[in-house]
C-alpha cells in the first residue's frame, strides 16, 4: 500500500522574474480531504494540549468528566473501574475512582457510553477488565437495588473493614489493611461491572466488541510482507480494538464546551506514572508477581521492586474544533457495530454542532484524525506515517520516533528508499550550486523504544533495526544468528565432503535454516559509513532507564522505563500520536486512532519538553537548526554510553553513578526463532 497515491495534485505558479515559487508541504492524507467527500477532513480550528504520562493526562480527563453536562463517550482497549485518575494517598481508594466518576456523571443526567474491546481468549491473557476478565469471585457482590444505588469505592472498603472487625475472632479474617483494601477493590470492580452490564447503573451503558477476522484477513492480504502462518492466525483470530479516544459534551450547548482526547494511555491503573519516572513510586500499584515477571523477561537489575515499573505515554486534549466530529463518528460507528447493527453506509454526522464549526482563531491548530479500521477499509494511520516520513526524508532535519513496538520493516525500507533518491539527486546536482559530496545533507533519526515485550517479538524488532543498520543492540539475536550461520556453513562443508565420498548426509544447510534466520540473512544491514554516505542518515537507538539511590539498601538502582508511547515527531513541524504502534498489527489489524498536526508551536514545545526530560535540558536541541541537531545527536550518543558506564561502575561516588536523563543504549540478550509481531 503506497501512501503517495493519497497526495493532492496542485498547480504552482512560478514567478518569471524571480524564478521562485511557493507551495505547501503535504503532511496529511490529502486525498481523504476532497471537497464534498472529505472522509478524513483536515480541520483548522482546534485547541490542543499535549499531556506527557498518566498523572497529567488522567488528571485532565478526571476534571473534564466531573464537569460533563450531557454526554461521555469512552472507547477503551481495557477499563479498570477501580483505578484512581488522581492520586492523593497510598491505600486504595487513594481518591475518586474511574467507576465512581462515571456513576456520578450518570446520576446527574449525563449519558455515559462505554465501549471496550473484549474476547474470551484475549481477556484471559490481558486481564484488561478487572472485575470482568478476572477477579470475578470476590468475597461478596453487591446485588440488591439498595446496594447498587450505593456502589462506591469508599463504601466497598468500609464494608469489608466492618466485616473483618465483626469476624476478627476467625483466623481467616485476621487480615492486614492493605490486603483488605485489595479485596475491597476486587469486590468493587466486580460489583460495578455486573451492575453496568445489567443496565443497573443510572445513565451508564456498556458494550464490548472483538476484532473481525474476515476484515483482518482481507487487510493482511494487501500487505507486501505477509505474516507467517502462525502470526497470521494470531492476527486474524486475535485482532483487538486498540483505540482509546474520549469525547465529552459533543452536542451540549452546540458543542461550545466539547472536549476530546486522542491518546495511547489505557484506562488501567498500571499506566499511571509521572514524567519524573521514579524507580519506585508508591502512587503506582504494588508490584507483586509483575515485578518478578519484569525480571524474568530479561530486564537487568533487581527483581524485588515494590511497585510496578515506570510507564511513559501521551494524551492529546482537543478543545472544541472540527476534529471532534470524526472522533464522534468513529464512536457512533463502532457503537452501532457492537450493538449488532450493520448499517449499509457508515454513520456520518450530517448536522454537526454549530460551536464546532467556528472560524479558526489565533492559537488554533490544524488537525487530521486518522485511523486503522479494517471493517471500514481505513488504513490512514499507515498513510500518515509513510507520508510524513516521505516529507521528512526529503529534508535534512530530524525524525524522532518514540514507540512501544518498533517492528515494521516496511517503514524502515520506505525511509531508506526515499533517502537514497534524495542523496543520489544531491550527488548529481551539488556541483551546480557550488557544493561537493563533503557537504552531503544528513538527516538525524532518534529512535526511543523499550526492550521487546516478549522474546517472540525480538525477531521483528531485530529485522526493523537491522534494515537501518542498528541491529547491534539486539545482542542475543545477533549471536544466535551468527552461530546458526556458522553451524550451517560447517554442516554444508561436511555435506559436500560426504557427497564427494558417496555418502548421503542428513545435516542442516543454509537452505534449512529457520525462517527467522533466513529472513535476517537477506537484510542488507548498512554499515555506519554506508548509512551516511548512501542514505545521508545517522541513527541512534535508545531505551530509557530510571535511576535512584535506595537509602534502605544503600545501593544505586536502575530500572527500565516501559515505553508505551506512540509518537512520531518531525522537524518541529509535525507530529502524530495516539494508539497506533509501529507494527503490522497497528497498521492493518487492530482498530487504532491517531491525531496528526502540523502546528510548529506545539511540535517545537513538545520536542523541547521530551528531549529535556530524556537527555537533560542542555541536549534538547535548542532551536533545531541543522548544526544544533547535529550536535544534539552527537551528545545523545555520548550521554547514552556514559549512562551505561555509570550503571556498570563499581564506584560509590554519586557523580559516577547518577545518570544524566534516562537514555541508555539498547542491549537485549534474548533471542528467538519464533516470530510474533
Distance, CA of 367 to CA of 41 (rounded, Å): 8
| Same domain membership, residue 413 and residue 334 | no
Q: What is the pLDDT of residues 470-506, one digit of tens each?
A: 999 999 999 999 999 999 999 888 888 766 556 554 4
| Same domain membership, residue 446 and residue 574 | yes
CATH of the domain at 233: 3.30.870.10
| Same domain membership, residue 90 and residue 71 | yes
* Cα dihedral 127, 128, 134, 135 in deg (nearest 10): 120
**Residue whose grid cell is 458494550:** 207
pLDDT confidence bin for 341, thresholds 50/70/90: confident
Distance, CA of 457 to CA of 342 (rounded, Å): 35
Model pLDDT, residue 521: 98
Nearest to 378 by CA among 29, 57, 640, 72: 29
More confident residue, 154 or 426: 154
Domain assignment of residue 180, yes or no: no
Question: What value does the mean pLDDT take over residues 498-519?
Answer: 70
Task: Identify the domain containing residue 120 by its residue range.
Answer: 53-136+193-268+314-338
| Same domain membership, residue 543 and residue 497 | no
Answer whether 100's CB lies under 8 Å from 85's CB: no
Domain assignment of residue 222, yes or no: yes
Domain assignment of residue 164, yes or no: no
Give, rounded to a whole angstrom, the gap between the first and last alpha carbons of the chain: 19
Model pLDDT, residue 2: 44
- Is residue 296 over pLDDT 50? no
| Same domain membership, residue 597 and residue 532 | yes
| Same domain membership, residue 427 and residue 504 | no
> What DSSP state is assigned to residue 386?
H
| Same domain membership, residue 460 and residue 540 | yes
| Same domain membership, residue 465 and residue 427 | yes
Domain assignment of residue 468, yes or no: yes
Distance, CA of 603 to CA of 167 (rounded, Å): 59
Among candidate residues 487, 520, 553, the one where a domain is terminated:
520
Structurally, the chain folds into a number of domains equal to 3
Domain assignment of residue 182, yes or no: no
| Same domain membership, residue 112 and residue 57 | yes
More confident residue, 17 or 400: 400
Domain assignment of residue 484, yes or no: yes
User: How far is residue 301 CA from its own chain's centroid?
Assistant: 25
> What DSSP state is assigned to residue 120?
H
| Same domain membership, residue 119 and residue 93 | yes
- Is residue 229 over pLDDT 80? yes
Answer whether 421's CB lies under 8 Å from 641's CB: no
Among candidate residues 520, 537, 555, the one where a domain is terminated:
520
pLDDT confidence bin for 20, thresholds 50/70/90: confident
Answer whether 187's CB lies under 8 Å from 160's CB: yes
Domain assignment of residue 634, yes or no: yes
Among candidate residues 520, 551, 582, the one where a domain is terminated:
520
| Same domain membership, residue 537 and residue 514 | no
pLDDT confidence bin for 293, thresholds 50/70/90: low
Question: What value does the mean pLDDT take over residues 84-107?
Answer: 96
pLDDT confidence bin for 43, thresholds 50/70/90: very high
pLDDT confidence bin for 3, thresholds 50/70/90: very low
Distance, CA of 558 to CA of 142 (rounded, Å): 43
More confident residue, 265 or 555: 265
Domain assignment of residue 242, yes or no: yes
HEC string of 398-422 equals EEEEEECCECCHHHHHHHHHHHHHH
- Is residue 4 over pLDDT 80? no
Q: Other C-beta atoms within 10 Å of 496: how many? A: 12
User: How far is residue 174 CA from its own chain's centroid?
Assistant: 43
Kindly report whether the peptide bond that precedes residue 93 is cis, defined as omega within 30 degrees of 0.
yes
Distance, CA of 463 to CA of 251 (rounded, Å): 47
Model pLDDT, residue 151: 98
Q: Other C-beta atoms within 10 Å of 222: how many? A: 11
| Same domain membership, residue 573 and residue 595 | yes
Amino acid at each position: 500500500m503506497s501512501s503517495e497515491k493519497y497526495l493532492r495534485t496542485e498547480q504552482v505558479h512560478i514567478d518569471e522574474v524571480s524564478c521562485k515559487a511557493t507551495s505547501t508541504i503535504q503532511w496529511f492524507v490529502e486525498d481523504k480531504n476532497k471537497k464534498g467527500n472529505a472522509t478524513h477532513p483536515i480541520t483548522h480550528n482546534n485547541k490542543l494540549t499535549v499531556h506527557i504520562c498518566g498523572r497529567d493526562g488522567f488528571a485532565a480527563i478526571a476534571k473534564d468528566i466531573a464537569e460533563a453536562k450531557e454526554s461521555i463517550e469512552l472507547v477503551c482497549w481495557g477499563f479498570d473501574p477501580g483505578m484512581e485518575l488522581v492520586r492523593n494517598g497510598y491505600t486504595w481508594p487513594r481518591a475518586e475512582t474511574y467507576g465512581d466518576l462515571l456513576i456520578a456523571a450518570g446520576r446527574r443526567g449525563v449519558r455515559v457510553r462505554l465501549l471496550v474491546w473484549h474476547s474470551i481468549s484475549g481477556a484471559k491473557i490481558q486481564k484488561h477488565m478487572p472485575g470482568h476478565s478476572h477477579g470475578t469471585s470476590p468475597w461478596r457482590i453487591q446485588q440488591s437495588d439498595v446496594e447498587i444505588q450505593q456502589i462506591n469505592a469508599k463504601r466497598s472498603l468500609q464494608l469489608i473493614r466492618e466485616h473483618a472487625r465483626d469476624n476478627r475472632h476467625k483466623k481467616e479474617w485476621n487480615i492486614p489493611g492493605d490486603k483488605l483494601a485489595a479485596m475491597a477493590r476486587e469486590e468493587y470492580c466486580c460489583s460495578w461491572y455486573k451492575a453496568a452490564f445489567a443496565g443497573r447503573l443510572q445513565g451508564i451503558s456498556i458494550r464490548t466488541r472483538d476484532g473481525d477476522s474476515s476484515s483482518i484477513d482481507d487487510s493482511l492480504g494487501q500487505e507486501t510482507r505477509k505474516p507467517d502462518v502462525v502470526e497470521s492466525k494470531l492476527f486474524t483470530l486475535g485482532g483487538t480494538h486498540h483505540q482509546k479516544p474520549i469525547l465529552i459534551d459533543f452536542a451540549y450547548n452546540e458543542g461550545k464546551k466539547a472536549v476530546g482526547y486522542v491518546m495511547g494511555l489505557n484506562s488501567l491503573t498500571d499506566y499511571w506514572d509521572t514524567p519524573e519516572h521514579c524507580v519506585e513510586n508508591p502512587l503506582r500499584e504494588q508490584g507483586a508477581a509483575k515485578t518478578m515477571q519484569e525480571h524474568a523477561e530479561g530486564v537487568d537489575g533487581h527483581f524485588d521492586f515494590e511497585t510496578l515499573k515506570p510507564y511513559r505515554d501521551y494524551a492529546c486534549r482537543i478543545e472544541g474544533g472540527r476534529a471532534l466530529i470524526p472522533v464522534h463518528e468513529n464512536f457512533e460507528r463502532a457503537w452501532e457495530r457492537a450493538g449488532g447493527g450493520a448499517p449499509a453506509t457508515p454513520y456520518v454526522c450530517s448536522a454537526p454542532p454549530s460551536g464546532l464549526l467556528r472560524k479558526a482563531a489565533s492559537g488554533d491548530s490544524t488537525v487530521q484524525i486518522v485511523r486503522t479500521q479494517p471493517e471500514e477499509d481505513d488504513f490512514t494511520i499507515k498513510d500518515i506515517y509513510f507520508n510524513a516520513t516521505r516529507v521528512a526524508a526529503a529534508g535534512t532535519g530530524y525524525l524522532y520516533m518514540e514507540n512501544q513496538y518498533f517492528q515494521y520493516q516496511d517503514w524502515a525500507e520506505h525511509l531508506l528508499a526515499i533517502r537514497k533518491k534524495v542523496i543520489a539527486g544531491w550527488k548529481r546536482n551539488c556541483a551546480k550550486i557550488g557544493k561537493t559530496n563533503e557537504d552531503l545533507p544528513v538527516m538525524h533519526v532518534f529512535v526511543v523504544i523499550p526492550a521487546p515485550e516478549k522474546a517472540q517479538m525480538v525477531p521483528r524488532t531485530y529485522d526493523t533495526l537491522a534494515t537501518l543498520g542498528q541491529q547491534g543492540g539486539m545482542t542475543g539475536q545477533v549471536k544466535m544468528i551468527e552461530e546458526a550461520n556458522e553451524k550451517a556453513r560447517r554442516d554444508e562443508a561436511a555435506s559436500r565432503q560426504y557427497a564427494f565420498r558417496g555418502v548421503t548426509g542428513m545435516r542442516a544447510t543454509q537452505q534449512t535454516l529457520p525462517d527467522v534466520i533466513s529472513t535476517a540473512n537477506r537484510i542488507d544491514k548498512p554499515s555506519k559509513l554506508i548509512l551516511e554516505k548512501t542514505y545521508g542518515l545517522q541513527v541512534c537507538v535508545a531505551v530509557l532507564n530510571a535511576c535512584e539511590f535506595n537509602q534502605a539498601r544503600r545501593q544505586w538502582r536502575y530500572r527500565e522505563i516501559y515505553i508505551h508511547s506512540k509518537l512520531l515527531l518531525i522537524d518541529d513541524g509535525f507530529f502524530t500520536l495516539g494508539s497506533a504502534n509501529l507494527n503490522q498489527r497497528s497498521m492493518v489489524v487492530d482498530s487504532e486512532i491517531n491525531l496528526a498536526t502540523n502546528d510548529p508551536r506545539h511540535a517545537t514545545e513538545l520536542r523541547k519538553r521530551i528531549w529535556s526530560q530524556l537527555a537533560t535540558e542542555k541536549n534538547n536541541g535548542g532551536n533545531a537548526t541543522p548544526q544544533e541537531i547535529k550536535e544534539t545527536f552527537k551528545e545523545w550518543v555520548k550521554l547514552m554510553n556514559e549512562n551505561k558506564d555509570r550503571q556498570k561502575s563499581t564506584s560509590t561516588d554519586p557523580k559516577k553513578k547518577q545518570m544524566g536523563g534516562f537514555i541508555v543504549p539498547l542491549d537485549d540478550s534474548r533471542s528467538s526463532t519464533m516470530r510474533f509481531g
